[in-house]
């Protein structure tokens, strides 16, 4: 077993023993081993160095390494825990664990908050929210008129910014999400309970349906 682990560590950057990762995430040891195969496939799809680069991440998402999207960039940045421009194996498993159906809601809330906190100030500001709404609608091929976008932002801040300081902090975000739990529906990937060697379809994450827009605008 030690020999196998040693061999793996040479193949995967940031390799960690599956039992350790299973203890720290909702995945089982067998699921971590399946993710290892997926990771090896992704991390050698363009650059054969055992690391997932942003181009490889985009290729997995969109089948086109040159297609960029703010949402995908933010997900990549949050997976890149060491902030060194690549995703290592341990980072890959730990970050995917947040999307597991059994992951704590607090982890999902914090991750979603960071997605919108584009400038990493610890707050969600109006311009950041607008950028993400436009990015998500673009990814969902839903064209939102400027006045609708502004209405969504105004409605969100009127309810979430309870301190009235023009920005949303984590505590305000938690309260807002508790009122509208559907905001976290994209933070769970049900099929992570049944890992196969296929890239989790994060393209499904930013779906915006017309009913969601109505809820965001009308607060129903």
Higher pLDDT, 205 or 70: 70
In a domain, 217, yes or no: no
In a domain, 93, yes or no: yes
Provide the residue range defining the domain that includes 144.
105-186
Tell me: do 33 and 95 sit in the same domain: yes
Tell me: do 109 and 40 sit in the same domain: no
In a domain, 157, yes or no: yes
Tell me: do 161 and 110 sit in the same domain: yes
3-state secondary structure the chain: CHHHHHHHHHHCCCCCCHHHHHHHCCCCHHHHHHHHHHHHHHHCCCCCCCCEEHHHHHHHHHCCCCCCCHHHHHHHHHHCCCCCCEECHHHHHHHHHCCCCCCCHHHHHHHHHHHHCCCCCCCEEHHHHHHHHHHHHHHCCCCCCHHHHHHHHHHHHHHHCCCCCCEECHHHHHHHHHHCHHHHHHHCCHHHHCCCCCCCCHHHCCCCCHHHHHHHHHCC
CA gap 168, 166 in Å, rounded: 7
Q: What is the pLDDT of residue 61?
A: 72
CATH of the domain at 69: 1.10.238.10
Tell me: do 118 and 182 sit in the same domain: yes
Let me know: does 107 contact 98? Beta carbons within 8 Å: yes
What is the sign of the dihedral through the CA atoms of 142, 108, 32 and 15? positive
In a domain, 179, yes or no: yes
Tell me: do 124 and 157 sit in the same domain: yes
In a domain, 132, yes or no: yes
**Highest mean pLDDT pick, 156-160, 194-198, 216-220:** 156-160
Tell me: do 130 and 162 sit in the same domain: yes
Tell me: do 194 and 89 sit in the same domain: yes
In a domain, 9, yes or no: no
Indicate whether 167 pLDDT > 60.
Answer: yes
Tell me: do 67 and 135 sit in the same domain: no
Residue 65: which pLDDT band, with cuts at 50, 70 and 90? Answer: low
Q: What is the pLDDT of residue 183?
A: 85
* Number of separate domains in the chain: 2
Phi, psi (rounded to 5 degrees) for 169: -95, 175
Tell me: do 89 and 197 sit in the same domain: yes
In a domain, 73, yes or no: yes
pLDDT in tens, 190-211: 767 666 544 555 434 344 444 4
Tell me: do 20 and 96 sit in the same domain: yes
Tell me: do 181 and 121 sit in the same domain: yes
In a domain, 3, yes or no: no
In percent, how much of the chain has pLDDT > 90?
A: 58
Tell me: do 128 and 196 sit in the same domain: no
Residue 189: which pLDDT band, with cuts at 50, 70 and 90? Answer: confident
């Amino acid at each position: 077993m030690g020999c196998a682990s040693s061999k793996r560590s040479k193949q995967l950057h940031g390799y960690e023993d599956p039992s350790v990762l299973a203890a720290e995430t909702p995945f089982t040891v067998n699921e971590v081993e399946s993710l290892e195969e997926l990771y090896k496939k992704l991390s050698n799809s363009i650059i054969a160095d055992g690391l997932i680069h942003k181009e490889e991440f985009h290729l997995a998402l969109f089948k086109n390494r040159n297609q960029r999207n703010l949402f995908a960039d933010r997900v990549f940045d949050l997976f890149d825990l060491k902030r060194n421009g690549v995703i290592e194996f341990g980072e890959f498993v730990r970050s995917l664990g947040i999307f597991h159906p059994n992951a704590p809601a607090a982890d999902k809330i914090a991750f979603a908050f960071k997605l919108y906190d584009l400038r990493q100030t610890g707050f969600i500001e109006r311009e950041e929210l607008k950028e993400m709404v436009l990015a998500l609608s673009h990814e969902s091929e839903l064209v939102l008129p400027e006045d609708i976008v502004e209405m969504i932002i105004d409605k969100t801040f009127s309810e979430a910014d309870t301190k009235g300081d023009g920005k949303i902090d984590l505590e305000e975000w938690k309260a807002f999400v508790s009122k509208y739990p559907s905001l976290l529906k994209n933070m769970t990937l049900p099929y992570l309970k049944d890992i196969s060697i296929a890239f989790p379809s994060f393209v499904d994450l930013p779906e915006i349906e017309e009913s969601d827009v109505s809820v965001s605008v009308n607060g129903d």
